[in-house]
Structure formats: C-alpha cells, structure tokens
Amino acid sequence: MCTIKPTFYTSLFIILIVNFARANKPTPVSSLTDLLANLCDCDLQLIHWDDYDTQVSFSGGRLVYTTIFMPDYDAFKISPHYNFVDNQADEFPAMDILRSRVSSCRLSFILLPIRLKSSPHKVRHQTLRSITISTMFHLFYEVVRNKNKYIYMLNKNAFINIATITPKMDSIQNLPFYPFNQPYYYYLSLIIANHRQNLELCFIPVRQLLESYAGRMICLTQIYLKEGNFVSLVENLGLNVQISCTSERQWELKSLAADTTKTLRKSVKQLTINIFAKGNRSCRLSGRLEQLRVSGLNYNRNQELIFPRFGGYQFLTCYVEPYISFYFFLAPFQPELWAGLAISVVTILTVMTTVHHYRSEKEPFSVWLFILATLFEETGRLPRKMEKTTFCRLSLGIWCLMSVILTNGYNGIMILELNAPRKVFHPDNFDHLRCLNQFDDAVKLINKYGWINPDEAEKTVADPHIIIGYQAFWRFNNENLQLLMREPDRVVDLNTTNVSYNCYQLLSAFHSNTGFENLPDFLLLLLKLAFELVDLRDENPQTNISQKMYRDLNLFNSKHSFYPIGFSYLTGTINYSVQERKIEEEVVQCGKTVFVGKSIELKIEYDFLSRKYPKTKFFMSSEAIQTYPSGVVFTSPWKSLALIRLKIALEAGIWGHVEEEELRQRNFNRTPAVSQLGNRTPSNTATLGGSLVTVFILSGSLMLVTVLIFIIECRAEIGFFILSIYRRCMRYQKLKKLAAKAAVKTTVSVVKFDVKS
C-alpha cells in the first residue's frame, strides 16, 4: 500500500487551475471573420480601394453583404452637401428602402490600399469619399412626382470602420481634414492591423477643421469579444468620446428674475436653453431647434419630431341669433305632462262612466263637467248617493288630490317658460360661417371643363352662377397675392367693394414674427391653401379636385371681411397692439363677427375675454380646421442627451405648462378695450319676442276643447237645432220650386190665349 503526500495533491490542483485558466483565457480578435462573430440580421458593406485581384470576400452565411470596388466609381459625382441626384440610382450600389429589406444593423468596412502609393492628400480624399458613400449614398427612395429623381437618405445609426495596416500615426495623418457629419448619425472607428497579428480599435471623436486627432482618440490595443459582439462593443464605448455642444448659436442666456415682481419668467426658449446647458451630446453644430409649422418639414433632412400637442384653428364669438322652431311652441306645453294627463283623464272618465251606467239607482251626473271643474280648481257637482260609495270616494279623491298638485306645479312651469326669452343660435363650426359657396362652384367648373382662364369661363355652357363664383374666387386670390407681395414703394390697398356685412367678419391677429406681416393670420392660412391648389394644377392639370379636402376655401371669399373696420395699408407700418384692440372692440360688440386663431392661443383669449367681460357670453367652436402637429424639430440629433431630456420634460408635462404660462403672460398687463357699465337698462321680457306667443296658442287650444265639450254635453239640443234648420231649409227649397212651377204654367196659358184670339 502506497501513500500520496499532501504536497502532491496541492501541486496537482495548481496545475489544473493554471491549465483551466489558460484554456478559458480570451484570445484577441485577429481577423475580420472573428470580428463579425455572433452577428446576425446585419447588412454588411465592403468598400475596396485596392487592386481588383486583392479584393476581400466574406464567407459569413448569416450576413447580407455588398462589395463596392471604388475605382469603378471614380466618375460618379457625389457631394456631402446635397443628397438629391438626377441620375439613375441603379448606377451605384444603393438599396431602395421601399423595395428591399433594410436591417436596423448596418456595418460598413472601408478597406484602404495595402500599399499606400498615393500621396496623403489623395488618401484623405479616398477616405472622405468612402465615408460619404457609406453615410449619404447607401439608402434611397424614388420620388413619385418627379420621374428619374431619387432621394438618398442618411445611413443613420450605421457602424463605419476604416481598416488599414499602416501604423497608427500614419493612419491618423491620412484621415481627412474635413468636418464630415460625425458622430451625429453613425459610429466611426479606425481598425489597424498591427505587427502582433492583432486588431487595434480606435474611436474617432468629433473635431474642428484642421485640428489634429492625436491625443484625442480612445484606442483598444486588443479587441476582446467576451460577451456580445462587435456592435455592442462599439455602442458601449463609442459615445464616450463625444463632446457637448449647443444647437442654436444666436440664443443668449437671459436673467430669470423679473424687474419688479421678483417672480420667475417662464418661456419655452429659456426652458430649452436650460436643457441644453445641462448636457447635450452629438447635436449637429449647424442644426437648429425650431417650432414646427405647417410647411416646416424638410424631407431631405434627418429629423427627430416631437409633438406635444395636435391643434388647428378655431373661432370664438358672442354673436347669437334668436329663432323660432316647432319645439319653441311645444316646449311650454310640456308634452310629457299633457300625455300623462290625457291618459289619466280618459281612464277616470271611462271608469266613472261605466260605474254610473251600471248603477241600479240612476241619478243625473256629468262626469265631463266634474273632471273639468277639478282641473280648474273649481267644485263640481257629485250626486249624494254616489258620494257615499267607497269606490267613488277613493277614485275621485285620488283624482282631486292629483289634479291640485298637477295644476299648481304646471302653473309654475308655465310662468317660467312663458317669461323666458327665445332660444338663440350661435355658430358652432366653420360651415356655419359660410356666406357663398364660391369655391364649390369653382370646383364644379374645374372638374367638368378643366383649368381654364377666368376670362374664358363665359365661353363654357356652365350655369351663370357657377361662372360668377369661379371668376370671383380667382379674382380674390389675385388681390391677396398683390397685398402679400407688395413692395414698400408700391401703393396697394384693400378692395372692400365686395364686402357684405350680412356675412361674418373673419378677424384674426397680425403676427409680426411669421415673415408675412402684411396679412392676417387666418387669411394667410387660406391663401396658402390656395397655393396648394395651384401647385396641384401645375403638377397634374387633369386631376379632379376633392370638395371635401378643400372645403375650407369656401371661406376664402370677398364677401367676408378679414380686417377690422377702418383698416388700411395706406397708413404705413402696422401697429399690432392697436389692431389687437380694434379686433377686440368689434368682437365684444357681439355683431356678426368671429375671431379666428390657433386652438391654444384662442383658449387663452377666451379666458381673458370671459374674465374681463363677465356680462357677455362667449362661445368657442366645437371643431378645428387645418389641424397640424405642433412641437419641436431636432435636426440630426441621433443620441443627443438634450433630446432625451426634452422628451422627459414633455412626458412630465413641464413643457406644456411652461408653454401655456408663456402665452398667458401676454395678457398680464392687458386691459379691456371696452369698459362695461355696471348699470344696465332692464329689458321687457313679457313681449311677443319671448315665449309669450304660446299664451295665445294655449288659449285657442283651451277654447277649442271647451267647444268640443259643450257639443258633447248638449248633443241632443244641438242635434235638434241642426235638424230644425235643415228641415226649414228643405221646406224653403220645396216652396221655391213650387212657386217656380206655378209661374211657368201661368206663362204658358197666356201664350195659348193670344194665339186663339
């Protein structure tokens, strides 16, 4: 029997641990195949600048890759400043995003020549050209309206790698001295194959023109893919080398303290500056943060859109129109109450008539008169013997109690209804504001005869009113174009000859920051809608126009007034505060005038007018037209922290609260344009202008019912009277006929006598 010493076990355990550690020690990546391990669902792009025979191929079965031999595309003109090209996109290996699958993971490897025989300037040009192709000319789609026109999209979130075998310092010197769009859209790294047969990875930071990369790059001398893959490695380390920047250079930090109140001044711009100041990464230096307008989007840019609200245009007014409808006469009668009363009266009459008919002791009794007397709170005659019966006491007692409650309650309702003013109508949507449907007439003529000159419309066989509407629409469009495009030295004023004050005045504010200070806001909106119609005509003259899509252009009518009374362009520069007070004066007069504005601004205006004019009832329209998303547009934000923090502010409601407070600050020191007096002249409501007309209808109805009851109760006497009159009439007719016959016989006798003689 042999024994093993403990030292042997210790040595054996140490040897096993060392071998296990060596076996599990990760090895650095040394080839492109190893670098792309554990990757799937990625599109791979290989860009070669070497000889055709030395092209590198990739055998990864799970990746879709495209090889581009760059010397074949030297004649292809590209520029990083534009992405709208005229030539066919199939001349260059790009992917149509509408006809092919585009993965969210896109890898691009730029393989520089193995032997750098060219000058450093040419190498920089080749590198820049490759980066431009990978970022801006890899994805495209065709524009439908313009044949043979293609829009190239930015290859956002792509992983672009420059691979070379030259030493690190030489590779850095060969990088292009051009501030290409990095790292705003994609990750850019430098892969160097060193002499130890390992791959070295360097992340290229954002830089200014002609600034050296030396000392500013983060490099990994060896690449280890312990967990994940190459994409996750670049995502985790690539953003750490970016710097902070501010998007809008013209913004200036202002003091938050007010002059006297010492309260914080809140504004959307100040909130945005604070968010950017806290930390912003990868925001494009030449980009802007702007409020989105109807035509504020540019499809050629890579933009991030944030929409905190979705609004449009609404209107407010205090104008009302009294009206009379069938329900106006029916409401004071309380139809439900009268229906219940009729059922009760018929029931009690039927029951009491049946009981009285089958009683053994007959007594004269009129059930009609008794029920009618109780309704008018009068005492009715009830036979003594019937009064003593239990059934009659219960039935008629319940009826008398119900009639007292009914008549007293109904009197109160009638007094309230008859003294109330008439129902009124107020416009609730933009269709109620229409005066003439000139645009509908224009659409009918266009869809039938095509786009014709307004002066030649009379040559068609269309209805005259359609021709007049077509000509009036384009005439009004040309007049507003002259006002919009007028020059300071050119005298152009309003044409108010066609304005009808039987139509609504569509007033809106003048905004000094829109670039179109000449026209009111709502008129400018309708004019832009007319521009779209003209663009549709220029693109496809054969297209039929949808009346529903452009129905708002029915308000684009010369019969409506879009300006306050007395406004003229001949007075010189527009005083916006004065025009605001004039518009307010006309609106609060409650004439046929509405104030049109954006939904959020109109709500604040409604609160102000309701607070300053408490004796006036204002109404807001229930629908909005020309709705559009409103928010913020970020140009090329990629993974900016400012964008993330702005989304947090929006989701928390901070942005909306600050925006509303900023709008409310405009009315902080604003005073009402018209003062309302405390004493008002009392109006007489008991006139024919109210529901007092119903009294005459009710009186006539009661008289008719009384006559019917009288006829039923006195049917025997009335029947005998009618029969006697009928008999007298018949006797009179008979006597008249007998007298006529006697006169004829006498005449015949006289004639015969004369002949014989």
Look at residues 400, 420, 440 and tell me which one is the last residue of a structural domain.
420
Range of the domain at 143: 32-241
Instruction: Report the alpha-carbon distance of residue 320 to residue 297 in Å, rounded.
Output: 40
Residue 8 lies in a domain: no
333 shares its domain with 202: no
d(CA 256, CA 658): 13
706 three-class SS = helix
Same domain, 192 and 172: yes
Q: Which two tokens stand for residue 679?
A: 């004493």
Same domain for 364 and 466: no
The CA distance from 643 to 289, in Å, is 11
Same domain, 354 and 498: no
Q: Are residues 562 and 549 in the same domain?
A: yes
Q: Does any domain span residue 276?
A: yes
If you search the block for the tokens 């690190």, which residue do you land on?
168
Q: What is the C-alpha to C-alpha distance for residues 441 and 439, in angstroms, rounded to an integer?
A: 5
Q: Do 650 and 613 share a structural domain?
A: no
609 and 565 within one domain: yes
* pLDDT computed for residue 316 by the predictor: 92
Q: How many CA atoms lie within 13 A of 541 on its CB side?
A: 6
Cβ 471 vs Cβ 453: under 8 Å: no
Whether residue 49 lies inside any domain: the answer is yes
Domain check: are 483 and 392 in the same one?
Answer: no
Helix pair 599-612, 654-664: axis angle to 10 deg: 50
Domain membership of residue 312 (yes or no) is no
- How many whole angstroms separate alpha carbon 101 and alpha carbon 91? 19
| d(C-alpha 382, C-alpha 298), whole Å | 92
Distance CA(661)–CA(654), nearest Å, equals 11
Q: Decide which of 374, 395, 420 is a domain's last residue.
A: 420
Residue 62: per-residue pLDDT = 67
Does residue 255 lie in a domain region?
no
Based on the fold, state whether residues 237 and 343 are members of the same structural domain.
no
Are residue 402 and residue 511 in the same domain, yes or no?
Answer: no
Structure tokens at 561: 């007034």
Rg (CA), the chain: 46
State if pTM tops 0.75: no
- For 249, counting Cβ atoms within 10 Å of its Cβ (0-12 exposed, 13-18 middle, 19+ buried), the class is exposed
Cα distance between residue 73 and residue 69, in whole Å = 8
Q: Of the residues 675, 694, 728, which one is the last residue of a structural domain? A: 675
Q: Smallest Cα–Cα separation from 322: which of 725, 666, 691?
A: 691
Q: State the DSSP string of 580-638.
A: HHHHHHHHHTTSSEEEEEEHHHHHHHHHHHHHH-TTS--EE-S--EEEEEEEEEEES-T
Dist CA 549 CA 557 (whole Å): 17
Q: Kindly state whether residue 732 falls inside one of the protein's structural domains.
A: no
pLDDT digits (tens, 9 = 90+) for 426-449: 888 888 888 877 777 777 777 777
Low-confidence ranges of the chain (pLDDT < 50): 1-5, 8-9, 12, 18, 20-23, 82-89, 179, 181-184, 207-211, 241-265, 281-300, 515, 677-680, 685-686, 755-757
Total count of domains within the chain: 4
Asked whether residue 646 is domain-assigned, the answer is yes
Q: How far is CA 652 from CA 264, 639, 656, 658, in A?
A: 20, 20, 9, 12
Establish whether the linkage from the previous residue to 183 is cis, with ω within 30° of 0: yes
Tell whether 625 and 660 lie within a shared domain.
Answer: no
Q: What is the pLDDT of residues 193-232, one digit of tens each?
A: 766 677 888 877 654 434 455 556 677 777 777 666 788 7
**Residue 281 falls inside a structural domain:** yes
Contacts of residue 746, defined as CB under 8 A and 6 or more positions apart, other chains included, come to: none
484 Cβ partners below 8 Å, 6+ apart? 516, 518, 519, 524, 527
**Residues 609 and 524 grouped into a single domain:** yes
